[in-house]
Amino acid sequence: MSLHKRILAGLLACASAMAYAGPRQVTRVAFLSDPSLPYVDHIVVKKSERRLFLMDGDKVVREFRIHLGLEPEGPKERSGDYRTPQGWYTLARRNPRSDYFLSIEISYPNARDMARARAHHWQPGGQIMIHGLPNTLHGTLYYYRHDDWTNGCIAVSDADMMQIWMLTRDGMPIDIEP
């Protein structure tokens, strides 16, 4: 057998063996933080100003325009009220496969929210997120850029969401003010 045929036969044998070996195991690599990124230790949201601030102590590191729930005035009280919560929470978990361009869950409801809902026999709601635009738009870009449109979440542009995702971590405090 010629050298060319032996090489081809070897390649086919390897390919065949790989095909029957099942799914490949992918090695996960943990990336270290980029030292050039600014440090952020907490988030402040000012609902009335429609602003989210990434903070390092009392210094504003980044500032973003936000969109809130359809009923933005007052604290969230119960499921379906379309309000964005007010109070102290933490970033609970990240979802890269969200219905929106990335999402980070906020730890709503906290103990105070639960007690208020229980006292009124309400369901407190949940699944409050910071997120980008929906993956499937149901309105015009003008609507998403100029109106409050969420069910109670905090929405930002996709570009802003990428920065928030990169500069924050799970467990980080977030203060949502009126």
Q: Which of 162, 30, 46, 49 is nearest to 104 (CA)?
A: 162
Q: Which residues pair with 103 in a beta bridge?
A: 95, 131
Tokens found for residue 46? 């000012």
Give dist(CA 110, CA 5) in Å, integer.
Answer: 69
pTM: 0.79
Q: Which of 79, 82, 63, 62 is nearest to 71 (CA)?
A: 82
Q: What is the pLDDT of residues 31-51, one digit of tens each?
A: 556 777 899 999 999 999 999
Q: Which of 156, 150, 144, 96 is nearest to 127 (CA)?
A: 150
Report phi then psi at 87, rounded to 5: 135, -170
Lowest mean pLDDT, pick from 9-18, 73-82, 102-111, 115-124: 9-18
Q: What is the pLDDT of residues 104-129, one digit of tens each?
A: 999 999 999 999 999 999 999 889 99
Give dist(CA 115, CA 132) in Å, integer.
Answer: 30
Give dist(CA 39, CA 166) in Å, integer.
Answer: 11
Q: Which CATH superfamily is domain 34-177 in?
A: L,D-transpeptidase catalytic domain-like (2.40.440.10)
Give dist(CA 57, CA 43) in Å, integer.
Answer: 10
The dihedral through the CA atoms of 38, 105, 131, 66 has a sign that is negative
Give the ranges where the chain is alpha helix by DSSP (H): 3-20, 111-119, 141-146, 158-167
Q: How confident is the model at residue 132 (pLDDT cuts 50, 70, 90)?
A: very high
Is 84 in contact with 128 (CB distance < 8 Å)?
yes
Domain coordinates of the chain in residue numbers? Answer: 34-177
